[in-house]
Amino acid sequence: MPERETMTDRLQPPAGDSPIDPPRVGGETLHERRADGPLVHGDSGQDIVEPGAPIDPQVRPVIGSAQALAIDLSETPPISGAGPATSSGTGRVRIGDRVFGLMTSGASLFVILVVLLVGVFLVVKSVPSIADDKLNFLTATEFDPGNLRFGIAALLWVTVVISIIAMIVAVPIAIGIALFITQYAPKRLARPVAYVVDLLAAIPSIIYGIWGYTELAPKLEPVQRLLSHLPGPLFALKFPTGTIFDGALVLAVMVLPIVTAISRDVFERTPRANIEAALALGATRWEMIRMAVLPYGRAGVVSGAMLGLGRALGETIAVYFVLSTVGGFDTSIFRGGSTFASAIALGSAEFNNPKATGAYIAAGLVLFLLTFVVNAAARAVVNRRKDFV
Amino acid sequence: MNVKLNRVGIAAGVLLTVTALAACSSSGSKKDNAGGSGSGDITCSSGNLKAEGSTAQANAMTAWINAYEKKCSGAKINYNPTGSGAGVSQFNANQVDFAGSDSALDPTKGEVAAAQKRCGSTPLDLPMVVGPIALGYKLSGVDKLVLTPELVTKIFTGKITKWDDPAIAAVNSGAKLPSSAINVIYRSDASGTTANFEKFLAANDPTDFTAQPAKDNANQVFKGQGKAGSQGVASAISSTDGSIGYVEYSFAVNGSLSTVSVDSGSGPVDVSKDSASAAVADAQVTGTGDDLTLKINYATKAKGAYPIVLVTYEVACTKYSNAATGKFVKNFLDYTVNGGQSLLAGLGYAPLPSALQTKVKASVGKIS
C-alpha cells in the first residue's frame, strides 16, 4: 500500500503541473475537477468510463466559449435599447467582433495564399527547365543542371533513405526520453532533462553540420566498418566518412527534440484515471505504460514523428556540410550523395543561368510535394487513430 | 512545453541576430589589420561605393577596402561577395558601381551588351587578383610529389586509382609511393575554382577530360568525393591519408597541406605567388581597346610558371553617368592595381605580373 501511494504521488505532478493546457484540456480539467473528490478514494470504475465519453458532447460548449460570448452580446441590446435601435446599437458592438473575425480569417487565408503562391512559383520557374531536360526528369540519376542533364531519382533516394534512418534512430530514443520525463523521473530531474532536450532544438543547424563533419563522422568510421559486414547492397562500404549514415545520425540528433517534445506532451496528458485504473488492477509500471500511456499517446507520437520527418527531409545546411557528394548512383548507405535541399544549396552560389536555376527549383518542387505527402499521411494517421483514443 | 521550446528558440534567434549584427559592424570598422603597406599612393574620394561579386577575391577586397577607408575617412566602400554571376547581373541592373567576377563579361550571354547599355559607355574587364589553385595531398612518407597535367587529369577522372601506378612512379623517381588507393576530393558546391581547374585539365588533356568546364559539374566529371567549400576540401584532404584535391592556395597554406609540383614540360614548378604570376604573364590579352580580358594559357611551357591559376576581374564602366562615382571607382581601382597589389601575397593571392599591371593602370586611368 505505501508503495502504491508514492507512485501516485510521483505521477501527480506531471498531470496537474502541465503549464500549457491543450485545447482539449477544457474537457479534461472539467472532468478532473469533478473527479477530484471521488478519485482520491479510487472510484476507478467510474473514472475509466469518463475520459473518453464526456469530451465530445458535453464539453464542446465550454471550449466554444467565444461563441457563447458572441451569442450573449447579440442578445443583450434588445434589453438595453428599443426594437428599432437594434441595428445601430448592435452595430457598434459587432464591428469589433466582425473585424476580429475578418482578421482571423484573413490570417488563415494569407497562409493558404502564401503556400499556393510558393507552389505556383515553383511550377512556373521549373516547367521550362523540365521541358528542356535532356534526361528523364523522374528516373534519371544524374544531376547536372548546367548542361540541362538532370533527374531526381538519386536525390529522392538519398533524401528518403537519410530521413528514414534518422527516424529509425531518433523515434525510439525520443519515446524513451518522453516516458522517462513523464513517468519515471522524479520531478526535480524531469524538468532539467526536458530543458536540455529542448535546448537541442535551439542549436543552429550549421553547428550540427560542422560538428558532424569534424567530430562525429570520423568517430563513426569504425561503426560503419562493423555494420558493413551485414549482407545486402545497402551496407556496402564505399566511403570512410561523409556518408548517408553519418548524415542520418546528425539528423537524428536534430529531430530528437521535436519528437520528444510532442511525445512528452501527449504522454503527460494521459488521463490520470487510466493510469490509476491500470495500477489498481495490479499492473507494474511498465505494464501501466504499455496499457494506458502508449495507446493513449500513439497518435501524438506518430504526428511528432511525422513532424520530425518533415524537418529531416528539408534539412539543408547540416546535410550540406556532413554529406560528401558523389557522381553516379548506388544503393549503399555508406556512400555520399546529395539530398534535394543540399543539392540546391550546393548550386546556389551560381544561380545566374535561368534554365539551370530552374532545374534546382524543379528539385525544390519535388521536395515540396514530398513534404506535402508526408504531412498528409501524418494527418491521415492521426485522424484515423483519434477514434481509438 | 511547446511554449518553452518556442521561448528558447526565440532567445536563440535574438542572440544570433545580435551576434550577426555585431559581426557586421565589426567587420565594417576593422581597419587596422591590413596595415599601412602600400597605402601611400591612395587618392581619396568620399561618399559611398557599392560593389558585388566573386567570392574568390573577397579577402583581397576586404583588405583593400580596409586600407582605403583607413586612409580616407569620408569613404565608404561595400563589397558584397555573393558570387560572380550575381555580381555581374547586379552591375548590369545598375545596382552596384562595379562588379568582381572570375570570368570576363561574356558576349554570347549578352552580358557585354547589357553592360554597355547600363554604362552608356564601353564596359571594362580589368584583371586585378591572381589566385593560384594548389593541388594539396596527404601521403605519408612522400614529402615531394611531382605530377604532369596528364597525370592530374587521369587521377581526377579515375583512370589512375593507385598511388604506386607506374606512370606516377616514372616522374617521381626515388619517392616511396604506397600501393594505397587515391582518394580524390573535389569541391561539391558551385565554384569558379572548379571551373578553372577543369579548364586546366581540358587544355592539357582533352582526351581524358572531355566535359565542358563548368562551375557545378564536379560530381559528374570527377571520380571521388565532393566536399562543400574550400575549408571542407582542405580538411578532408588533411584527415585521410592517400587524399588529393584542389583548393585555393591560401587554404593549402593555412591547412599546412603538402602541395603537388606540376611539370608541364619545363621541369616541376611549385605553387607560389611568383610562379602563378609567371603563368599569368604568359596569358594573352584578348580584350580590345582598354578592355583587358585574358586568355590564360593553361598549357604554358614558360619556365617557372605554375599553370593552375584563377584570375578575377573588376568589371567597371569607362564613363559613369555620375562623375563623382566615376572618380571614386577610378581612385579606388587605381589603389588596388598599384599599392594594393603588395597586400595580395600575404593573403594567399599573387600580384599581377608587371607588364599586365602597367596595362591595367592605363585602363583604370581612362575611367571617369
Please tell me the number of Cα atoms within 13 Å of A228 on its side-chain side.
17
The Cα of B20 is separated from the nearest Cα of chain A by a number of Å equal to: 13
| Contact criterion met (CB below 8 Å) for B258 and B136 | yes
Give the span between the Cα atoms of B194 and B215, in whole angstroms: 6
CA distances from B36 to A139, B30, B78, B130, B336 (A): 59, 13, 20, 21, 13
pLDDT in tens, A4-19: 444 444 444 444 444 4
Instruction: Dig out the grid coordinates for B79 from the structure.
Output: 563589397
Q: What is the pLDDT along chain A (389 residues), one digit of tens a residue?
A: 344 444 444 444 444 444 444 444 333 433 444 434 444 343 444 444 444 444 444 444 433 344 444 444 444 444 444 444 444 445 556 888 889 999 999 999 999 999 999 999 999 999 999 999 999 999 999 898 888 889 999 999 999 999 999 999 999 999 999 999 999 999 899 999 999 999 988 999 999 999 998 899 989 999 999 999 998 888 988 888 899 999 999 999 999 999 999 999 999 999 999 999 999 999 999 999 999 999 989 888 988 999 899 999 999 999 999 999 998 888 999 999 999 999 999 988 777 778 888 999 999 999 999 998 988 888 887 777 655 44
In the prediction, which pLDDT does B3 show? 44
Kindly report the CA angle at A330 between A324 and A332, in degrees rounded to 5? 75
- Comparing CB atoms, the residue among A18, A321, A353 nearest residue B228 is A321
CA–CA gap between residue A49 and residue A28 (Å, rounded) = 13
How far from B251 is each of A9, A74, A213, B229, B274, CA to CA, in Å? Answer: 61, 73, 18, 11, 17
Question: What are the sequence ranges of the domains in chain A?
Answer: 123-388
Which chain B residues contact residue A263 at CB under 8 A? Answer: none
Closest by Cβ to A352, choosing from B11, B86, B223: B86
CA distance B86 to B155: 33
Q: What pLDDT score does A17 carry?
A: 43
* Contact call for A199 and B8, based on CB within 8 A: yes
Q: Which of A252, A298, A290, A260 lies closest to A274, judged by CA?
A: A290
Cα separation, B103 vs B82, in Å, equals 15
Write the DSSP string, B193-242: HHHHHHHHHHHH-TTT--SPP-SS-HHHH-SSEEESHHHHHHHHHHHSTT
Residues on chain A touching B11 (C-beta within 8 angstroms): 202
Look at B225 and A265 and tell me if their CB atoms are within 8 Å: no
pTM of the entire predicted model:
0.75
Give the model's pLDDT for residue A62: 39
**Confidence at residue B107, expressed as pLDDT on a 0 to 100 scale:** 87
Chain B residues whose CB is inside 8 A of the A202 CB are: 8-9, 11-12
pLDDT score recorded for residue A81: 44
Helix A86-132 × helix A354-386 angle, to 10°: 130
One pLDDT digit (tens) per residue for chain B, 368 residues: 444 445 554 555 444 444 444 444 333 333 333 344 455 578 888 899 999 988 889 889 999 999 999 999 889 999 998 888 888 989 999 999 999 998 899 888 888 999 999 999 999 999 999 999 999 999 998 999 999 999 999 999 999 999 999 999 999 988 899 999 999 999 998 888 999 999 999 999 999 999 988 888 898 899 999 998 888 899 999 988 999 999 999 889 888 999 999 999 889 999 999 999 999 999 999 988 899 999 999 999 888 999 999 999 999 999 999 999 999 999 999 999 999 999 998 888 999 999 999 999 999 999 98
Q: How far is CA B348 from the centre of its chain?
A: 10
**Cα separation of A364 and B247, whole Å?**
29
A345 and B188 in contact by Cβ < 8 A? no
- Residue A90's pLDDT is 52
- The alpha carbon of residue B269 is apart from the nearest alpha carbon of chain A, in Å, by 31
Q: Are A262 and A303 in contact (CB under 8 A)?
A: yes
Q: In CATH terms, is domain A123-388 a member of 3.40.920.10?
A: no
Chain B residues whose CB is inside 8 A of the A265 CB are 1-2
pLDDT value of position A386: 58
- Cβ distance of A20 and B2 shorter than 8 Å: yes
- Please report residues of A whose CB lies closer than 8 A to that of B212: 147
C-alpha cell at A128: 521550362
Residues of B with CB under 8 A from a CB of A: 1-5, 8-9, 11-12, 16, 55, 83-86, 88-89, 188-191, 212, 214-228, 232, 235-236, 239-240
According to the model, what pLDDT value does residue A261 have?
93
Do A145 and B216 make contact, defined as CB atoms within 8 angstroms? yes
Backbone angles phi, psi at B319, to 5 degrees: -135, 125
Residue among B89, B212, B222 whose CB faces A147 most closely: B212
Measured CA distances, B293 to B126, B248, B290, B349 (Å): 7, 22, 9, 19
DSSP line for A43-80: -HHHHHHTTTTTTTTTTHHHHTHHHHHHHHHHHSHHHH
Strand partners, A32: none
**C-alpha cell of B170?**
616514372
Q: Which residues contact A238 (CB under 8 A, 6 or more apart)?
A: A326, A330, A332, A334, A335, A336
Dist. CA A258–CA A22, nearest whole Å: 17
- Residues A167, A374 contacting (CB under 8 angstroms): no
Ordered DSSP codes for B104-142 = ---GGGTHHHHHHHHHTS-EEEEEEEEEEEEEEEE-TT-
- Nearest CB to A349 within list B190, B212, B240: B190
Name the DSSP letter for residue B43. P
CB A314 within 8 A of CB B215: no
Find the CB nearest B219 among A268, A325, A345: A325
CB neighbours of B226 closer than 8 A, spacing ≥ 6? A324, A325, A326, A336, B185, B186, B187, B188, B218, B219
CB atoms within 10 A of CB B265: 9
Residue contact B219–A144, C-beta within 8 A:
yes
Test A348 with B215 for CB contact under 8 angstroms: no
